[in-house]
């Protein structure tokens, strides 16, 4: 059975719950709920395992805080013997409009501290990621408050639909592969 590591980035703690920066956690929570899974606290992460069409997806929400996400990713890749190409990171993206999804095989950290730490820890940026658009509708100097802020009313109405698309893309990544997943989901 092929194994995949699916990493949802976010910060632990109630003050960060359901903020733009925690979209990675929210997407994995949706996926777990959709398949009636429960996360368990484990080493460096909350973990759930999803068996889907002959594939095993290890879902992790690092408990290391965003800036040390690489520690959890590295640990779970080693512990589960999962390759880089079978690892996908779900991350918030300021450069994309709200809800837009962009899947790719590699990329820069784009100033995102979670991706920066993963890249430093793994020594490469050659791993698949799903970037979830959070838009950049903030005033100069207000980026931190925006990213760590809650979704506005309009976004909250559309968020469940966009989270479902991201969850479907994760399953497609494991089932049909990265290239076909990109073709199918990058313009949805």
SS3 state at 103 = strand
Segment (H or E) for 91: strand 87-93
Is residue 112 flagged as an active site residue? no
Question: If you ran DSSP here, which 8-state letter would residue 7 be given?
Answer: E
Q: How far is residue 145's CA from residue 138's CA, in Å, rounded to a whole number?
A: 9
Is the Cα dihedral 120, 125, 131, 137 positive or negative? positive
Catalytic residue, from 18, 21, 35, 112: name it: 21
SS3 state at 65 = coil
- List residues with catalytic annotation: 21
């Amino acid at each position: 059975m092929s194994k995949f590591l699916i990493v949802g980035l976010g910060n632990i703690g109630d003050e960060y719950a359901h903020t733009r920066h925690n979209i990675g956690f929210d997407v994995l929570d949706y996926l777990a709920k959709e398949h009636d899974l429960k996360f368990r606290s484990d080493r460096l992460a909350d973990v759930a395992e999803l068996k889907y069409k002959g594939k095993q997806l290890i879902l992790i929400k690092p408990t290391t805080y965003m800036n040390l996400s690489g520690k959890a990713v590295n640990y779970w890749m080693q512990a589960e013997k999962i390759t880089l190409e079978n690892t996908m990171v779900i991350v918030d993206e300021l450069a994309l409009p709200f809800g837009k999804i962009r899947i790719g095989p590699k990329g820069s950290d784009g100033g995102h501290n979670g991706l920066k730490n993963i890249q430093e820890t793994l020594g490469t940026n050659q791993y698949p990621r799903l970037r979830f658009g959070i838009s950049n509708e903030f005033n100069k100097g207000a980026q931190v408050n925006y990213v760590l802020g809650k979704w506005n009313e309009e976004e909250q109405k559309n968020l469940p639909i966009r989270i479902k698309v991201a969850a479907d893309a994760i399953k497609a990544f494991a089932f049909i592969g990265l290239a076909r997943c990109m073709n199918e989901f990058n313009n949805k």
